[in-house]
Structure 1
Amino acid sequence: MAVEYQARKTGQDNEPQHAVHDTAAPARPGGGRWLGLLRTPLGAGAAALLLLVLLLAVFAPPLWSGRADAIDTAHLLQGPSARHWMGTDNLGRDVFFRVLVATRLSVGLALLATLLGAAVGVVLGAAPVVLGRTAGRLVTAVVNVAVAFPGLLLALFFAVVFGEGAKGAMLAIGFALAPGFARLTQTLAASVSERDFVLAARVAGVGRMRLLTRHILPNIAEPLIVNTTIGAGGALLAFSGLSFLGLGVQAPSYDWGRLLGEGLNGIYTHPAPALATGTAVIIAGLAFNLAGEAAAKAVGIPTVRDRRTPAAGTRTRNTPRRGAYAHQGPVLEVEGLRVGFPGPHGPVTPVRGVGFTVGRGESVGVVGESGSGKSLTALAVSRLVEHPGTVDAERLDFLGVSLLAPDGGGAATRRLLGTSLAMVFQDPMTSFNPTMRIGRQLAEVAEQHLGMNRRQALSRTVERLRDVRVPAARRRAAQYPHEFSGGMRQRAMIGLGLMGRPALIIADEPTTALDVTVQRQVLSLLGRIRAQDGVALLLISHDINVVAQTCDRVLVMYAGRIVEELPSHRLLTAARHPYTRALIATVPHMESALDQPLTVIPGRPATAEQPTAGCAFAPRCALVQDRCRTDDPRLLTSAPDHRVACWNPHTTPAAPSRDERPADPALETDELP
């Protein structure tokens, strides 16, 4: 069962231009969704049945144990009557009251077994996230083997291992339920682990256990809760089955399974005892199943216990960037970067031999079609390529520290990445944990890496939200991501990166799905941060105009390689690679003929699954030669600050100069309102 949160968009991408005063956040009505659910037929029915079962489990034994245990030899094995509604057993005891009294033991043991199974299953399912690769794969293999066996067979096996009796049956059913919960947890955790907000937490250096408890488990809680409540009904049935077979509750205690076994002996002459017990099992199981369905509707976003907001007027002093600026060389140095994945016909290498540097305070843009390896290069630099992907390079240094260690470099490297490298992902909605308030997510970085307490971290959060021009910062810090508009979510994402001491911001398509006004604001914000704090920027974009007008240098990628590198002010006039010229030609401008179709690059982009000999762009190139189809060109220097990988590059100017080309109004660098 997938976890999806249907969030309402409470604002427009264009934030209001007028001033907004910070006010205290109103209390979130935590019980409102439960009260609303009780007004629905499903919620009312589930609540009524579950309340009935729980009341009987609590009050039936003290109220009717005497009547249930009273022996009446004058009325042995009688049918239903006014005195005994469901008849009597072989000792003349009232079957109806015995069924009511047995509710406590039957339901209690079933709930204990369900909780045990859920707890063990969640631990096993979450093991791959917490443990290393080898131990995690071993646990996964054990779970896969256990899931292959039918649950009843496992219950019988464990019942023999733990022995007969209530305790043994409870342990047997609990461990029999565990593989199903483990498989569900593994599947859900694997899907959530690839979300951008988990990757952002990893960039921030959040430990594995905290990553599991704060970012993964809260986002898979809904299906786990639903399956736990539904599993209670299955555990109740299984427990009754073991007692029916004589492996569960033993005399003189009794549960519904024992009563069903006793009533079965006379089912042809007196069916009422067996029917009464069977009806009780059905009602209790139905109550748990309906409660599970109701919980699925009610538990959309788990309640966050701490609703406090930072105190008004509290601000923290900016922390000096000693760690980020201790290294005097380039911020990022990459040589021979390769990223590989296993494929059906052998290894696939979507990034092959990429090399570049990013200097302090420099802005470098990366452009190319989808699938060219831009985002994967950024993930490799951030150490976010997970197994079975592999990252190899001749050199991969960030602030003078190599990032090529197999374990990610240990705690010191993770702390360096968490404080000195910031990631701004493409989709801000999936970049934030939907179950945590914005303020808590930003504050987590300061708590983990800057040693701040909770109050100091939240105060720094408000300060950073103000720095990125989020209106009503104190109130917004107490809101959830779905309560932010698209533009404010992207600003908050930038604020998340500024919680540490970033020396490099990697922005992966930061303006996707934003209108031109908000796009201008986000790009202006990044430019202002770079100018004020000397932060380097690696900007990934499909829009060549965005990169040309906001970056110092441009890297053009195709088929996992850099095919051209040149200063941005010369991009429109001095580009030499045919692919770069083709990208520039596809961008419409004010002089484009309205009666002509838009320019496109012929053919299809090269894929890593089907590598070609020679130049990857050769099948689409108008200047292709025989050598292009056999020899792969190297990236060589053709002019100062200009490298190109082409056997037959252009030599004539490409287009009017940048100053003559009309500027895109969305890319003006005006200050934010």
Structure 2
Amino acid sequence: MLERWARTLRTPLGLTAAGLVAVVLALAVFGPLVWGDAAEAVNTENILADPSSRHWAGTDNLGRDILARVVVASRLSLLLALLAVTITVAAGLVLGTAPFLLGRRSGRLVSAAVNIAVAFPGLLLALFFAVVFGVGATGAVLAIGLAGAPAFARLIQTLVAGITAREYVAAARTVGIGRFRILIRHVLPNIAEPLVVNATIGAGTALLSFAGLSFLGIGVQAPSYDWGRLLFDGIAAIYGNALAALVPGAAVLVAGLAFNLFGESIAKGLGLSTELGVRNLALPRRKPVDGPEFPEPGTTTPDVVLEVRDLEVTLPGAHGHVRPVRGVSFTVRRGEAVGLVGESGSGKSLTALAITKLVAEYGRVDASRLELLGNDLLAPETAVRRRVLGTSMAMVFQDPSTAFNPTRRIGRQLAEVATEHHGMKRSEAMNRAVDRLEAVRIPGAERRARQYPHEFSGGMRQRAMIGMGVMGSPALIVADEPTTALDVTVQGQVLDLLSTIRRTDDVALILISHDVAVVGEVCDRVMVMYAGRIVEDLPAAGLRGLARHPYTRALIEAVPDMNTDLDKPLATIHGRPVTPADNPVGCAFAARCPLADDLCHAEDPPLAARPDLSDGHRVACWHADEPLPSERNSGELVKAP
């Protein structure tokens, strides 16, 4: 941090701006002490004198030295401008963070009010508030401060929206941390730098605005004076003594330019830019559809950790609502590892986000049943439900580089789970964090706990993310492509770690991946998703021979193995996946399927068990018994025992 600020000051722009700001601040602090008597000395024998060696800018209508008064006025001018900026920042923070703190409905009202206020010119708002609060320095401070708040609030809303979309904020929500604490701990520290930059630039703008109000006669009133007031007095004598108006005008210009240049130089040095709702998806709960047998509502099988029935996720689209997850039903039992595979856009990650209650506020999660250890996850949010989510479920995100707050040490981020949900003191929670880092095989855990995320390698960050998940005693771990962007060796280590935790603590695991081969090796069951639906649910053992859905078999064929003929082109899946907004009638895979017929294009097959398949094997296909063209001569399609 200090190095970046030093780098900023070493640039020509930064050095010049810092020098100007230092001179202006020095005059504000020491000017009244040195030139205060000269500024107040009345000399009726030397009224409206021309500039001379004794009075460089001449005298006013009471014989007082104009230059001395300009120097002395720097303190009041800067003080009032800084007070106005403080009001701008405070009001902007309240308005800018309100949508996040208040939620979707109330937040939209605040956002609408801010958008309306931003549409008006700042000076017009300042004049309006000046009339409301009255003539004088106090009214001018409030007017300028509140007039600048809407633009600052808009900036904060944009920054907060960007940060709250990060995985480490989602992780904090998962462990049950309240919105206000997330704002203080995770959001504000990550937007502090652009706020400082824009507040610095805002000081220059406030200085110019304040001088304008005083020049118009509705700011500082006599006998007090600031640069705007002196400029007003100097205009009356400008034809006799031009410096009477030019000197206070130059002071306003130089000071405003100094703060603006300083803010711009900081922005350039830090790599920042100084340029500065969705309909509520009120849908009824979906009625249960025909499918596999589930326990009746109100009953819970002892070994069932997660129960999902008829899960749907609805999001707003350009031409209406879209459902990227449609009627997903499954159960996960204690100690069981379930893989969720499919191409990008099939709905895997969105299913995981729906289960962990991390779908964005503008989306809607609907299901006839969604329970974790018998707790209804669709019930209104309470402290008890947040505690259940925070202690019984762990989420391992796809990108560990964005899953941790870059401004907080790794140990403190892990310890937050223990302090929030287990009532541990900070020292106890920190010891627990070190223990969990050791458990996930991070060497030098005590030293590493004091480091920041950028000091960890990608594999270590992913292991630390798993360590955060097991800070409590989770019954379910949801791992969303945890090996993405990791090399093969580290991928194996991460998967081995998840398998070890599952076996040791009897934890259920949902592993999301696009690699069907990896899931087949790690998991007990594999669920294949396409176009937001589960098209096949089958045992992982003997995956290649047991798969019945053409999409599952195509995914398996696309993974080369030691028997792949290198003289032939690698297998691919013809066509492109359908988008959630363009789901066709009938089977969504029909346009890419070599077995598709008129029935496939007309009617969507249900996900159901078949008499010739093993127990628990479900498939949604009208032609599950037929071999693909590539299999007809190879004999790869075998009957299940």
Q: TM-score, normalised by structure 2?
A: 0.91
Does residue 1:399 correspond to 2:370, yes or no? no
Q: Tell me what 1:643 maps to.
A: 618
Q: Tell me what 2:291 maps to.
A: none
- Conserved in 1, the CA contact under 8 Å of 2:419 and 2:429? yes
Does residue 1:367 correspond to 2:320, yes or no? no
Written as runs of structure 1 = structure 2, the 5 A alignment for 1:593-612 is 593-612=565-584
- Counterpart of 1:417 (choices 361, 374, 389) is 389
Q: Tell me what 1:456 maps to.
A: 428
Aligned AA (1:111) = L
Secondary structure of the residue aligned to 1:422 is: strand
Does residue 1:633 correspond to 2:605, yes or no? yes
Between the aligned partners of 1:91 and 1:647, the Cα distance in structure 2 is 100
For residues 549-591 of structure 1, the C-alpha deviation after alignment (integer angstroms, 9 at most, x for no partner) is 0000000000000000000003111100000011011111122
Written as runs of structure 1 = structure 2, the 5 A alignment for 1:206-245 is 206-245=177-216
- Counterpart of 1:555 (choices 527, 532, 544) is 527
- Conserved in 2, the CA contact under 8 Å of 1:173 and 1:239? yes
Between the aligned partners of 2:557 and 2:353, the Cα distance in structure 1 is 29
- Conserved in 2, the CA contact under 8 Å of 1:573 and 1:656? no
For residues 645-666 of structure 1, the C-alpha deviation after alignment (integer angstroms, 9 at most, x for no partner) is 01111356978999xxxxxxxx
Deviation (angstroms), 1:285: 1.2
Q: Tell me what 2:329 maps to.
A: 355
Between the aligned partners of 2:84 and 2:78, the Cα distance in structure 1 is 10
Between the aligned partners of 1:32 and 1:613, the Cα distance in structure 2 is 60
Deviation (angstroms), 1:293: 3.0
Aligned AA (2:47) = L
Between the aligned partners of 2:511 and 2:152, the Cα distance in structure 1 is 42
Between the aligned partners of 2:177 and 2:264, the Cα distance in structure 1 is 34
Written as runs of structure 1 = structure 2, the 5 A alignment for 1:554-633 is 554-633=526-605
Secondary structure of the residue aligned to 1:331 is: strand
Moved more, 286-295 or 244-253: 286-295
- Conserved in 2, the CA contact under 8 Å of 1:225 and 1:295? no
Between the aligned partners of 2:331 and 2:245, the Cα distance in structure 1 is 79
Deviation (angstroms), 1:410: 1.1
- Conserved in 2, the CA contact under 8 Å of 1:244 and 1:258? yes
- Counterpart of 1:70 (choices 8, 16, 41) is 41
- Counterpart of 2:22 (choices 51, 62, 70) is 51
Secondary structure of the residue aligned to 2:512 is: strand
Q: Tell me what 1:662 maps to.
A: none
Moved more, 288-297 or 429-438: 288-297
Q: Tell me what 1:442 maps to.
A: 414
Between the aligned partners of 2:12 and 2:556, the Cα distance in structure 1 is 60
Deviation (angstroms), 1:300: 8.6
Deviation (angstroms), 1:298: 6.5
Moved more, 335-344 or 66-75: 66-75
- Counterpart of 1:431 (choices 403, 411, 421) is 403
Q: Tell me what 2:256 maps to.
A: 285
Q: Tell me what 1:380 maps to.
A: 354
Aligned AA (1:244) = F
Report which structure shows greater RCO (CA 8 Å, sep ≥6).
1
Q: Tell me what 2:510 maps to.
A: 538
Between the aligned partners of 1:35 and 1:282, the Cα distance in structure 2 is 26
- Counterpart of 2:320 (choices 346, 362, 365) is 346
For residues 143-194 of structure 1, the C-alpha deviation after alignment (integer angstroms, 9 at most, x for no partner) is 1111111100000000000000000000000000110111111111111111
Q: Tell me what 1:88 maps to.
A: 59
Between the aligned partners of 2:519 and 2:503, the Cα distance in structure 1 is 17
Does residue 1:261 correspond to 2:235, yes or no? no
Between the aligned partners of 1:533 and 1:344, the Cα distance in structure 2 is 45
Secondary structure of the residue aligned to 1:609 is: helix
Deviation (angstroms), 1:402: 0.6
Written as runs of structure 1 = structure 2, the 5 A alignment for 1:46-195 is 46-195=17-166
Aligned AA (1:331) = V
Deviation (angstroms), 1:40: 3.4
Deviation (angstroms), 1:503: 0.7
Secondary structure of the residue aligned to 2:582 is: coil
Unaligned runs of 5+ in 1: 1-29, 302-325, 659-673
- Conserved in 1, the CA contact under 8 Å of 2:8 and 2:270? no
For residues 75-99 of structure 1, the C-alpha deviation after alignment (integer angstroms, 9 at most, x for no partner) is 2222221011111112221110000
Between the aligned partners of 1:496 and 1:202, the Cα distance in structure 2 is 13
Deviation (angstroms), 1:342: 1.7
Between the aligned partners of 1:650 and 1:273, the Cα distance in structure 2 is 97
Distance change >3 Å, CA 590–CA 364, structure 1 → 2: same
Moved more, 424-433 or 124-133: 124-133
Distance change >3 Å, CA 656–CA 161, structure 1 → 2: farther
Aligned residue pairs total: 603
Deviation (angstroms), 1:414: 0.8
Unaligned runs of 5+ in 2: 273-299
Between the aligned partners of 2:301 and 2:155, the Cα distance in structure 1 is 46
Q: TM-score, normalised by structure 1?
A: 0.87
Distance change >3 Å, CA 656–CA 75, structure 1 → 2: farther
Between the aligned partners of 1:615 and 1:300, the Cα distance in structure 2 is 49
Q: What percent of counterpart residues are identical?
A: 63
